[in-house]
Structure 1
Amino acid sequence: MHFTIGVLVHGAIVLVLIVRVLLRPHREPASRVAWIAVIASVPVAGMIAYLLFGETSIGRRRIDELRRILRGMLPYDASRLEEFKNAVPARRQSLFRVATSISGFEPVGGNTARLMEDSNATIEQMVADIDNADQHVHLLFYIWLADNNGLKVVDAVKRAAQRGVTCRVMADNLGSRAMISSPDWTGMQQAGVKTGVALKIGNPLIRPLIGRIDLRNHRKIAVIDGRVTYCGSQNCADPEFRVKAKYAPWVDCVMRFEGPIALQNQRLFAADWAAATGENIDALLAHAPEPSPGGFYAQAVGTGPTVRYSAMPETFESMFYAARERLIVTTPYYVPDESLERALCSAAYRGVDTTLIVPARNDSWIVACASRSYYEELLSAGVKLFEFNGGLLHAKTLTVDGEVTLIGSANMDRRSFELNYENNILFYDPQLTGQLIERQEQYRANSRQVTLSEVEGWSMPRRLANNALAMVAPIL
């Protein structure tokens, strides 16, 4: 009797979870099928896995708070939209409209930027900007390490705070857990630096009952005096990245921007800061920096679990479909959904010179295998595929027809699409895009081209491993 009741209760729980999987919004059919198969085939482990990783929720309270903050921010001044229409070709304007639909930001003109030489040069320039700050310094990193570069920034922020500059620094609770619990973090606080922890985990046993523990703030944002901002792939760390030294150097790509675009990154920071600390800094969002004559148009794209579903892949796909001549993509993690894979293949099919550059050696063997499961389809479509050999290519860049660039923190994988808070900047400037293409060509020169015949010659066990691991992607 007790056994029968137990079986019925167990079956009812399994049925309830399967119904929940079917009713959960914004989930691809493949993902639903994968989760139902897992729950039905290994019920206990499957149910636990679904409760831990099956839903992209950071908790209802956090969602309500973030949305309240965004709604309450000062309205954006779009009075110069006509100037944008005159400055940017009509064939490119739709890309900015997609971005506007995500974060609510309109493209702003009058910006200038410089492509940083490498990771160390980025930190040196950032430290110089912090040392020259006279109003405020705002920093947000997913990973902040207590290494050479990480401590250079710590020391610069402490110096700024001690001379009266308002400094707010924030790091992700998972990615920067060692820094947050270190004496260096306490030292910043003692120097007068305001600190915030993004997406606090709290009790790891209770956290999964409230929201997924692996939904993280993956952004890398620096705003100095409201007029200078940085955007790219680099965390606050040495390129040797000693926590994963065997994959080093980490090869990153960062741009230093000046102009009105800094206000949009400031807005992203302000929302994250208010959610983490409760401090409202809307007063800093009232005025944008003066535009530089002849500067280019740019737009911030902030995505995450509380933003429109599929916002990040839509941005990528829009750029793939907009390409007419040349498309170059660099990403460390290529595990696309079906629509993004089709969009990239479509570019090559219609005659666009399409190049994808990924690391030859990835710090995640699961991602590496899953990525390679897509190689044959990409190569058959005519995509030129390269594996970078000079370390772990961590740069997240996309250039279209030598005119438009997207640079930032987002990878081309499901984690960036659905689980992480990301920040990118989209801009139209043929000259600066040309400089980035030169950098992308340097990556290609340090890479080995993968051929279709090579992939077709892979052994059956290798194909099985790649495809099996790719099947896991929809449930993550």
Structure 2
Amino acid sequence: MSFDWMQGTWLLGVDWLIRLAALFWIPSRTTPAAARSWLLLVGFVPLLGLPLYLLFGHPWLSRERVRRQANASEVIRVEQAGMTALRWTPPADTEAAEVAPLVERLGDFMPTRGNSVQLLDHYDASLKVLIADIDAARERVHLLYYLMFDDPVGDAIVASLIRAAARGVRCRVLLDAVGAKRGLRRYAQPLRDAGVTVHDMLPGGLRWRRSGRMDLRNHRKIAVFDTTVGYVGSQNLALPEFVPGFPNRELVARVEGPVVGHLQAVFASDWYIETGERLDVAVTYPVSDADIVTQLLPSGPAYPYENARDAVNSLIHVAQRKLVLTTPYFVPDDATLSALRIAALSGVDVQLILSESNNQRLTAWAQESYYDELLRCGVKIALYRPHFLHAKHLSVDEDIALIGSINLDIRSFALNAEIGMLCYDRGVVGRLREVEADYLADATVLSLEAWRARPGWRRAREGVARLADSFM
């Protein structure tokens, strides 16, 4: 009995030691909101909560990766200094005059004129155009994607890369080690045998300590061909039904002009961060007669700030008339939630377009916990029905659009490497509004009264899921 008593006392002491250590340690290493979630978990199950926090609680990257990103950012800023003819200066007293300087300081890229932007809203057609551009490439093909599956789409992309390599095109492929695990397992060796260079990004296993926290991911979707064409958006390299029961709807921008060089620079930066190899990036790119102004916004834990969150919040704050946000995952932090509330209460027409179906159950429950507050302050919420709406974009008034891979959740803001492209152009915003109207035509519009009539057990489920927002 004495031994059992001593053992119980020892375990109780360890239990409380973990709780007290976490109380003083965790708040100093993470945001208050995230700290509350982790302290709650550690308080309930200390022996489980502490190991989980050590693995997933702090979005750390290796010092070498942070150093390489800083080096890449410096090169990008220096190279742009001599391109004054391409720089666009926004008119004073406009929304762009507030947003563009912030985005440049955060993500390094200046706004450039002389671009063309084609929005591709059809899944299969977008892939066909992408493969056609691979087949048309003469010097270089660079692909950077979060997800690639071993399915007919993967087969078609690989076949086009092998054809390109056979005619002497230099092909490089970067794929996220987790998101593209199936594609890497099936295609990496055949591609290498054909002369295509393939690297996985943020690898796990025994190599994870040389990269960063195990669940940090590169979520970007970028393609660059020669100096002529680039792609940025939400679409991965897989069939739309790669998650059974959730066929995806996406939005991709096919671009020409100086922005292609900027996409090339993002690819070269990620290549350097993963491999240590510095790629030669062409300095001059053909200017398009369309003369659309664009600006890239890369973000991720290698940067000093949460670029995506800060830029999105700035766009919300500058909106004066209409703001439309489309995202598959909506788990905002306090700053973003506050920005949306202020915009709606200030009289801005704020429309949030989400997917009625969702392949992430916990995320879906958590995002539902925000609906009551948003509806109460005047935010309109529409749930798109026909597909899993995986597109990620935002439009501000008639002048600014943001298109890319950025979700409106804490994971995209703090943990993933993401890419967005801002377009300061009424024509692009008008085209995007047509896409948004198409979503709304097939959507269920929520009302505050109907939402509050949901069962109590759903409210409880939403509240519990929301406590886990920092773990998503």
Contact 2:109 2:262 in 1 (8 A): yes
Q: Partners in 1 of 2:438 and 2:77 — Cα distance?
A: 42
Measured after TM superposition, the shift of residue 427 of structure 1 is 1.1
Query: Where does residue 304 of structure 1 map in the other structure?
Result: 300
- With over 3 angstroms needed to count, the CA separation of the structure-2 counterparts of 1:66 and 1:38, relative to structure 1, is same
402, 405, 413: which one aligns with 1:417: 413
Query: Where does residue 357 of structure 1 map in the other structure?
Result: 353
Q: Partners in 2 of 1:156 and 1:210 — Cα distance?
A: 31
Q: Percent identity?
A: 33
Query: Where does residue 176 of structure 1 map in the other structure?
Result: 180
- With over 3 angstroms needed to count, the CA separation of the structure-2 counterparts of 1:66 and 1:398, relative to structure 1, is same
270, 273, 277: which one aligns with 1:272: 270
Measured after TM superposition, the shift of residue 341 of structure 1 is 1.0
Letter in 2 for 1:186: Q
> Is 1:192 the counterpart of 2:191 in the alignment?
no
| 3-state SS, counterpart of residue 217 of structure 1 | coil
Query: Where does residue 78 of structure 2 map in the other structure?
Result: 75
Q: Partners in 1 of 2:252 and 2:190 — Cα distance?
A: 28
Kindly provide the CA deviation profile for residues 317-344 of structure 1, in whole angstroms up to 9, marking residues without a partner as x. Answer: 1111111111111100000011111111
Kindly provide the CA deviation profile for residues 12-58 of structure 1, in whole angstroms up to 9, marking residues without a partner as x. Answer: 4544343321221xx33222222223223311011111112111013
Contact 2:65 2:211 in 1 (8 A): no
Letter in 1 for 2:212: G
Query: Where does residue 155 of structure 1 map in the other structure?
Result: 159
Measured after TM superposition, the shift of residue 95 of structure 1 is 1.1
- With over 3 angstroms needed to count, the CA separation of the structure-2 counterparts of 1:61 and 1:333, relative to structure 1, is same
Alignment of 1:5-404 (within 5 A): 8=13, 11-24=16-29, 27-72=30-75, 75-78=78-81, 79-80=83-84, 84-85=88-89, 90-182=94-186, 184-203=187-206, 207=208, 211-241=212-242, 244-248=243-247, 250-281=248-279, 283-285=280-282, 287-404=283-400
Measured after TM superposition, the shift of residue 407 of structure 1 is 0.3
> Is 1:470 the counterpart of 2:469 in the alignment?
no
Measured after TM superposition, the shift of residue 10 of structure 1 is 5.5
Measured after TM superposition, the shift of residue 88 of structure 1 is 8.2
Gaps in structure 1 of 5+ consecutive residues: none
Kindly provide the CA deviation profile for residues 80-116 of structure 1, in whole angstroms up to 9, marking residues without a partner as x. Answer: 3796226687332211112111111111110001111
- Higher mean C-alpha displacement, 401-410 vs 40-49: 40-49
Measured after TM superposition, the shift of residue 257 of structure 1 is 0.5
Kindly provide the CA deviation profile for residues 157-216 of structure 1, in whole angstroms up to 9, marking residues without a partner as x. Answer: 11111100100011000001111111x22111111101111111123xx84797321100
Q: Partners in 2 of 1:68 and 1:111 — Cα distance?
A: 27
Q: Partners in 2 of 1:397 and 1:153 — Cα distance?
A: 25
Measured after TM superposition, the shift of residue 298 of structure 1 is 0.6
Q: Partners in 2 of 1:343 and 1:100 — Cα distance?
A: 21
Kindly provide the CA deviation profile for residues 429-454 of structure 1, in whole angstroms up to 9, marking residues without a partner as x. Answer: 10121011101110111111111111
Give the structure-1-normalised TM-score: 0.93
Q: Partners in 2 of 1:416 and 1:277 — Cα distance?
A: 24
| 3-state SS, counterpart of residue 385 of structure 1 | strand
Q: Partners in 2 of 1:367 and 1:208 — Cα distance?
A: 28
Letter in 2 for 1:365: R
| 3-state SS, counterpart of residue 458 of structure 1 | coil
| 3-state SS, counterpart of residue 240 of structure 1 | coil
Contact 2:87 2:112 in 1 (8 A): no
Give the structure-2-normalised TM-score: 0.93
- With over 3 angstroms needed to count, the CA separation of the structure-2 counterparts of 1:139 and 1:199, relative to structure 1, is same
- The aligned length equals 466
Gaps in structure 2 of 5+ consecutive residues: none
* Backbone CA RMSD of aligned residues: 2.1
Measured after TM superposition, the shift of residue 351 of structure 1 is 1.5
> Is 1:408 the counterpart of 2:404 in the alignment?
yes
Q: Partners in 1 of 2:114 and 2:174 — Cα distance?
A: 29
Contact 2:298 2:307 in 1 (8 A): no
Q: Partners in 2 of 1:8 and 1:424 — Cα distance?
A: 49
Q: Partners in 2 of 1:215 and 1:466 — Cα distance?
A: 25
